């Protein structure tokens, strides 16, 4: 999906620009909130892309920040209109982690660590369906079907030749050993993982149990980078929502964690041998 059609990315860009204008004006978030008679939280959420910004909000903020160039005001108001539109994933109803889906759709590269399951972008339909059914209590048939369709639609990103996603996955051995669905589903899933790991734009590394303690013990995380920015976003997935970290200090910490995980994990070549050996366990 093109960047100008992605409401999540457009909202983040608009928020970053509004924050830049506020800082240039010398105003604090508290002062802006007092001028507009809104909460400081609203100002913060607008600047981080976590809250929709209306064209009227943009107009009022530009007046407050002393922006006199009408072209700048008009372009920001257009960004606000575009960011209020819905992404393709909204057609499937109330889907958890919709912010992440929006970021993933636009990302140029993703470096992710998973401790418990095969990452969604690399899941087979049968494995994905089993994960959804077995990990979400009280999920209805309709909800499970919608989540599966979204998950499979997300995988278009790794097959799009015009905007091929650079994907690097460090995967704990536990994800290969845990039987999800059935032994047959696991065999099919690991064969699929092996095949994808040979693609030039996809790197898979297994972190074996013999590696001992490692920086990923605290759980799953992803580092996303975008074509138009040198900055990265860290995404921490929770059960029904997630957390985006953008502070340089936080990103630096997770970059260091990922570098350690890459060092401790098996090389891509040894990983493929490891996956092949594990497939034999499910075949016997």
What would the DSSP string read from start to end of 208-229? Answer: -GGG-S-TTTT--EEEEE-TT-
Beta bridge partners of residue 61, listed in sequence order: none
- Domain boundaries for CATH 3.30.870 within the chain: 96-283
User: Do 182 and 224 meet the contact criterion of CB atoms below 8 Å apart?
Assistant: no
Would the pLDDT of 97 be above 80?
no
**What mean pLDDT comes out for the span 142-147?**
90
Residues 252-261 have pLDDT tens digits of 999 999 999 9
pLDDT of residue 267: 97
**What mean pLDDT comes out for the span 206-217?**
94
Percent of the chain with pLDDT over 70: 89
Comparing 51 with 20, the larger pLDDT belongs to 20
- Domain boundaries for CATH 1.10.260.40 within the chain: 3-85
Indicate the pTM of the whole model.
0.76
96-283: which CATH number, 1.10.287, 3.30.870, 2.40.30, 1.10.150? 3.30.870
**200-236: b (≥16 Cβ within 10 Å) or e:** eebbbbbbeeebeebbbeeebbbbbbbeeeeebbbbb
**What mean pLDDT comes out for the span 256-277?**
97
Would the pLDDT of 214 be above 90?
yes
Would the pLDDT of 1 be above 50?
no
Which segments within the chain are labelled E, that is strand? 109-114, 166-172, 202-207, 221-225, 232-237, 242-245
pLDDT of residue 160: 83
What CATH number does the domain located at 3-85 have?
1.10.260.40
Q: Residue for token digits 């809250």?
A: 51
User: Do 243 and 219 meet the contact criterion of CB atoms below 8 Å apart?
Assistant: no
**What mean pLDDT comes out for the span 210-228?**
90
pLDDT of residue 166: 95
Highest mean pLDDT among 94-98, 106-110, 185-189: 185-189
């Amino acid at each position: 999906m093109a960047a100008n059609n992605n409401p999540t990315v457009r909202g983040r860009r608009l928020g970053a620009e509004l924050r830049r204008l506020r800082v240039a004006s010398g105003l604090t978030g508290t002062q802006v909130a007092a001028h507009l008679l809104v909460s400081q939280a609203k100002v913060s959420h607008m600047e981080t892309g976590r809250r929709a910004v209306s064209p009227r909000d943009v107009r009022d903020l530009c007046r407050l920040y002393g922006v006199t160039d009408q072209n700048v005001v008009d372009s920001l108001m257009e960004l606000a209109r575009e960011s209020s539109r819905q992404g393709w994933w909204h057609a499937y109803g109330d889907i958890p982690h919709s912010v992440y889906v929006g970021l993933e759709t636009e990302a140029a590269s993703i470096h992710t660590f998973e401790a418990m399951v095969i990452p969604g972008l690399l899941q087979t339909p049968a494995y994905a369906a089993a994960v959804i059914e077995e990990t979400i209590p009280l999920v209805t048939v309709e909800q499970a079907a919608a989540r599966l369709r979204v998950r499979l639609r997300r995988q278009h990103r790794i097959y799009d030749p015009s905007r091929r996603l650079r994907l690097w996955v460090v995967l704990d051995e536990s994800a290969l050993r845990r039987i999800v669905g059935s032994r047959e589903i696991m065999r099919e899933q690991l064969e699929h993982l092996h095949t994808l790991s040979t693609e030039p734009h996809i790197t898979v590394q297994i972190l074996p149990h013999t590696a001992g303690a490692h920086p990923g013990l605290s759980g799953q995380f992803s580092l996303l980078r975008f074509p138009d920015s040198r900055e990265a976003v860290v995404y921490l997935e929770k059960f029904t929502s997630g957390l985006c970290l953008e502070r340089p200090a936080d990103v630096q910490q997770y970059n260091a964690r990922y570098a350690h995980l890459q060092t401790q994990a098996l090389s891509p070549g040894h990983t493929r041998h490891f996956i092949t050996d594990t497939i034999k366990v499910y075949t016997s």
